[in-house]
């Protein structure tokens, strides 16, 4: 059998990407997708060896943002849309970290789900 030379796998060159940030009180999770929705990268505070309540801090969020920004640069991404979800304290620090690495943030959206009337409340107590 003849030797077949493998072709080098080239990285995709993408102009704009979407960063989805889910920030809860316990953790901060971020993922980078294309505009079509294909996931390119993801990172969380737990992946960066933050344990327990330290995962929900703004410092952990900034570290997640810096890690994502380092990993985004080989893709050729220049402009970023950011979708923020949840009430956590790491959401603002991720945006600052991405912006400080030289990415242009075009849209900053809050996509936190809000109930339009929610679940039915429990019965009143009869004492």
Give 81-94 pLDDT, tens digit per residue: 999 999 988 889 99
* pLDDT tens-place string over residues 55-110: 999 999 999 999 999 999 899 899 999 999 999 888 899 999 999 999 999 999 99
* pLDDT at residue 5, rounded to an integer: 80
Percent of the chain surpassing pLDDT 90: 76
Give me the domains of the chain, ranges plus CATH numbers.
16-110 (3.30.420.80)
Helix H or strand E encompassing 63: helix 58-72
Whole-angstrom distance, CA of residue 66 vs CA of residue 99: 10
pLDDT at 24: 93
Torsion over CA: 66, 69, 74, 78 (sign): negative
């Amino acid at each position: 059998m003849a030797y077949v030379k493998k072709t080098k796998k080239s990285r995709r060159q993408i102009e704009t990407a979407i960063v989805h940030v889910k920030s809860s009180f316990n953790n901060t999770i971020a993922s980078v997708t294309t505009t079509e929705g294909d996931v390119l990268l993801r990172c969380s505070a737990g992946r960066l060896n933050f344990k327990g309540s330290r995962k929900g801090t703004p410092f952990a969020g900034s570290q997640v943002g810096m890690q994502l920004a380092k990993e985004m640069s080989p893709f050729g991404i220049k402009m970023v849309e950011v979708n923020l979800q949840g009430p956590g304290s790491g959401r603002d620090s991720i945006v600052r970290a991405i912006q400080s690495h030289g990415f242009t943030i075009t849209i900053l959206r809050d996509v936190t789900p809000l109930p339009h009337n929610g679940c039915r409340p429990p019965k009143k107590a009869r004492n």
